[in-house]
Homo-oligomer: A and B are copies of this chain.
Amino acid sequence: MLRPGGRPRAGIVATGSELLTGAIDDRNGPWLARELSDRGFEVAHLLLVGDRPDDLAEALRFVADAGVELIVTAGGLGPTADDLTVEMVARFAGTDLVLDTAMEAHIGGILTRWAARTGFAGPALEAANRKQAMLPRGATPLLPVGTAPGLVVERPGGPLVVVLPGPPRELQGMWPAAIEAAPFAALLKRVPPAAARSLRYFGLPESEIAATLREIGSRRDLTDVEITTCLRRSELEVDLRPQPGAESVAAALAEELASRHAKHLVSAEGTSTDELVARALLASGRTVATGESCTGGLLVGRLVDRPGSSAYVAGGVAAYSNEAKTALLGVPAAMIAEHGAVSPQVARALADGARERFGAGIGVGITGVAGPDGGTEAKPIGYVCFCVTTDDGTVIARDPVLPGSRGDIRERSVDVAMHLILRAASGLPA
């Protein structure tokens, strides 16, 4: 828990009635929360509010009352009547809206090009242009990424308000201009660096980290470091966020946590597993190919998610049926008959088959019981066989019983496979 008074606080307000019916997930709040935290703010509240003027006004007042120095809003900048953010922020800042003619001309240019492309034009478009160019007096405008400008609004005696558009691509695209705008840049200069440390483990129970933290806490004062442990499927992430002045405490704690659980440590710098796998494969000069049964393409889909992945991903086969395992990856039908489709033997044959058919250096085989049906006493739901084989004869095999629903089991299986690929590509012992 963070003690009050240490860091400047910030609040985030995301608007849109569709966020409150569950029709759409808010992608801006978490993105902004990470940006602000990484820049050293303590994020006090993240509010989602509908497109209702009173609710929006109350949300701004509530966040301001929580003693924040910064409010970032997302959404509600569009041309329609229920896009209220600019008007409500102006009221909150105690100012009025005036037409920014330079912005009007700028938006007009965007809309003209759009109209030429789509064939849509007329008075509705002109009204939209004018509404979007009405800005709070004295605000610093941010050029549109789509058609709506953003804003940095100073409020006498109150928090700075940064107003950003709702579409995530526009919001993220406008962010660099926002942090360079003079009032926001001045505030950022006063924020002490986050100096956060992030450690990621694989296969380590949360209770082990909790016990280690208790033990270290009995010897050292850790109260000025906010410690968050967060279990994401098979990975455990430990975030350390020091109060200003406690940076060296966090750094020493990170060192100790890394060395105490070195066997399970994936990264002490917060590097993602996907990034580590890509680096290891590129360094090894090998390509990878998959033969997937229960994960049905999810693993190869994740591997090719990274730009540039064609340099180290040869491909994959999702072979759900026994016939497909035999026809596409050469798994002997007799082997399936003898050991069952879910067996270490078939996982090995899937790995070898994928490696050979794709001409890859590393092959991965996955076959398991994802449920909800099909479990037996010997092979219960969650039983998954993994095998990674390489062209120099390394064989890494695992057959755990993974917990959770069908979706959980498939996602965890992909996690496990990623870590086995990392092991094989790094040349670690099986």
Chain A contact residues, CB within 8 Å of chain B: 1-2, 4, 17-26, 29-35, 37-38, 42-52, 54-55, 58-59, 62, 65-66, 80-82, 118, 120, 169, 205, 207, 210, 226, 228, 230, 232, 237, 239, 241, 290, 292, 295-301, 303-305, 307, 309-310, 313-321, 323-324, 327-328, 357-359, 371-373, 404-407, 410
Residue contact B300 to A228, C-beta cutoff 8 Å? no
Beyond A1-B51, A18-B239, 7 additional pairs, beta carbon < 8 A:
A20-B45, A21-B241, A22-B34, A120-B207, A301-B301, A307-B372, A321-B358
Cα A228 to Cα B4 in complex, Å, equals 39
Identical chains in the assembly = 2
Residue contact B17 to A1, C-beta cutoff 8 Å? yes
Residue contact B310 to A301, C-beta cutoff 8 Å? no
What would be 6 A-B contacts, judged by CB atoms less than 8 Å apart?
Answer: A20-B46, A21-B228, A23-B228, A42-B50, A290-B297, A327-B359
- From B35, B45, B299, contact of A47 by CB (8 A): B45
Cα A316 to Cα B324 in complex, Å, equals 9
> In the complex where A169-B405, A317-B316, A324-B315 touch, is A371 in contact with B45 (Cβ < 8 A)?
no
> In the complex where A315-B317, A316-B297, A405-B169 touch, is A21 in contact with B37 (Cβ < 8 A)?
yes
- From B42, B54, B300, B307, contact of A297 by CB (8 A): B300
Residues of B within 8 A of A371 (CB): 307
Residues of B within 8 A of A406 (CB): 307
- From B1, B45, B207, B328, contact of A49 by CB (8 A): B45
Residue contact B50 to A2, C-beta cutoff 8 Å? yes
Cα A118 to Cα B208 in complex, Å, equals 11
Residues of B within 8 A of A54 (CB): 4
Residue contact B315 to A301, C-beta cutoff 8 Å? no
Residues of B within 8 A of A66 (CB): 55, 58
> In the complex where A82-B1, A318-B315 touch, is A50 in contact with B55 (Cβ < 8 A)?
no
Residue contact A314 to B324, C-beta cutoff 8 Å? yes
Residues of B within 8 A of A58 (CB): 62, 65-66
Residue contact A296 to B313, C-beta cutoff 8 Å? yes
Residues of B within 8 A of A310 (CB): 320-321
Residues of B within 8 A of A324 (CB): 314-315, 357-359
**Among A314, A317, A323, A372, which residue has the most Cβ atoms of chain B within 10 A?**
A317
> In the complex where A55-B66, A169-B404 touch, is A357 in contact with B33 (Cβ < 8 A)?
no
Residue contact B22 to A35, C-beta cutoff 8 Å? yes
Residue contact B21 to A48, C-beta cutoff 8 Å? no
- From B47, B169, B205, contact of A46 by CB (8 A): B47
- From B22, B48, B210, B304, contact of A318 by CB (8 A): B304
Q: Which chain B residue has the least Cβ–Cβ distance from A313?
A: B320
Query: In the complex, how many angstroms separate the beta carbon of A120 from the nearest chain B beta carbon?
Result: 6
Cα A61 to Cα B229 in complex, Å, equals 28
Residue contact B59 to A50, C-beta cutoff 8 Å? no
Residue contact A228 to B17, C-beta cutoff 8 Å? yes
- From B46, B296, B307, contact of A48 by CB (8 A): B46
Cα A237 to Cα B18 in complex, Å, equals 11
Cα A80 to Cα B239 in complex, Å, equals 17
Cα A46 to Cα B239 in complex, Å, equals 25
Residue contact B169 to A359, C-beta cutoff 8 Å? no
Residue contact B37 to A30, C-beta cutoff 8 Å? no
Residue contact A21 to B239, C-beta cutoff 8 Å? yes
Residue contact A21 to B34, C-beta cutoff 8 Å? yes
Residue contact B35 to A2, C-beta cutoff 8 Å? no
Cα A169 to Cα B1 in complex, Å, equals 25
**Among A22, A66, A118, A207, which residue has the most Cβ atoms of chain B within 10 A?**
A22
